[in-house]
Structure 1
Amino acid sequence: MGLFDAPGMWKGVLCAPLTPFTSDLAFVDDDRFAQQIDFLIGQGVPALSPGLHAGESPSLSAGERDLLMRLTVEVADGRVPVVAHVSSSATRQSVEHAQTAAAAGAAAVVSASPYYWQPTDGALIDHFAAIAEAVDVPLIPYVYPGDLTLDSFAALLDALPTAGGIKSGDFDLQYLTELCRIVADRRPDFSVFAGVEYALPMAVLGGAGCFSALGLVAPRLVAALSAAVEAGDVVAALPLQRKMSALWHLLRPGYPGRVKAACTILGRDLGPVRPPVSAPDAAEVNAVERELTALGLTETEGFGWRAAP
């Protein structure tokens, strides 16, 4: 059984909400966060993953992270599954975040490799296994380039029988191809996700989809790309993937400061970013707006919090 009780591999997009702050950066703006969740669900996103790096999680307190997770579960109200981000540098803290998320109604949890420590493959597998064993919902490990060798990936699958998928931050074609091959041979119901919106190449390799950091900027583009990929229509998906790639490379510098700036340009202001993330200056914002217009997104993505027609 696949992720979210799918009969096979669950495929789709897991959208990462951004974190709105009050103007003094002292608090999370609960109302605007709830508005964002409703908007994203109204745009048809199939799953939400709060507290990821797009949501400035390293700049949030443990209480704020738990608050955003609980708000997402509450506002979603069963309409879409919620995958809570529970990463920490320490295994114990990751376990505690995961237990809190599962108790609050999250459908799954996602955890990155521990920050800073660079554990061995065996220690990393033990870290993920401790999280998986502590909760009764699936875990999605999140591995970065160099975190886990392909030789150890089969051992990871064996150690995590309740895991539903993996999120890979590696864009190396050979690594991803082999990772998907290992999964196909051992766990055909296991979902391999790209870390950002490279849905088409992941589908070609046998992956399941992607996490989305740009769902609030370009929800209609994300949805159109996902639909074309799911339909197996490469001719339709390719220009959408190229547009998505151009958008990602436009907004990636200073991440996620430019992502928030793009949202503001499109009438979906979520307030400032917290230091040490820096906000783009006026010249950068103007350049972002010009590129959004050149990509056609200021016309196609609507303005403000209106749902798609």
Structure 2
Amino acid sequence: MLARSGWAMDIGWAQREKRSVIRKPGQKEYETTLWRDPEVELTSPWVGLHIGDFSQYARFKGNWGRFQETGVDRKGYQGDFIERYGWGIDYYTEYPFRLGAWTVSPFFKGDYWNYGYKNDGSDRQIVTIGTLGVRASCGGFEIGSAFEQKRVSGRSAFGNGWDRNYDTDTFYQRVGVKIGPSLTFAVQGVFDLTGNKNELSSMGYILTYDNSCCTRWELTVNDDLTDSNNNDWITLSFAITAFPDSRFKIGNENLSNPFGRPGGLAVRRRRYKPTLMEKDGTEQAENAEIAMPKFDV
């Protein structure tokens, strides 16, 4: 990745890259082999507008690449390289406030992608994800609830392939508690509410050791509760506190975390200590922001 003044560019090539994708909660993993020759993604700095403690941010992003999916035989895709291009917008807003001894932070995240494909069918796929949630903390206890809705229109040139998206409705509930000077334990439940469903699809367990001085260790366990899948896994990660972006990890999986602050955005409110759930998985390099005029009320 190349990053400067909030701009970030990610360039990658891959041959025979193994992909396992869960496109719907509770759906069996889609496994395939992908070639990228190459793939380039560019993100702009965040543009921020602040009115008192109310903050909102937006940034633009673009993606281009040539892809080939092998080992599949489906109608509409013959296994050739296809050029895909896309543009999108990320949006984030929050309003942290005090309620007695509690710090409460309602938030909303928006993620929009518009993909086009250079093929005979001139296919196009538009993916919009909206997440509405709230985080709350008091002392060593934190809790969060979030509802995520994904809506998809159009279709992928790869047919029912690796980048095919589906409509989903998902609810997340997360609870964390400090169990020692440097230890925190958190539990996250994921509920699939798509269509007529109303089921608990997975449970995640996170044990974090962070001495706020040198190192941070995180052990994550995922328990898949669905009948159609067996996506149980364990990962262990290690990071040096002074260099949070340099993380060493055993295992490739990650828990879905709708509570994370996107793109390394910093907390603006003074005396506000970020919850672990909003920091988890958001240590990224693109932390620069272009600030619009500030209004204090």
Q: Same fold (TM over 0.5)?
A: no
Q: Which has the higher contact order (CA 8 A, sep 6+)?
A: 1
Which of the two has greater helix per residue?
1
Which of the two has greater strand per residue?
2
Q: Please say which structure displays the higher CA radius of gyration.
A: 2
Structure-2-length-normalised TM-score? 0.30
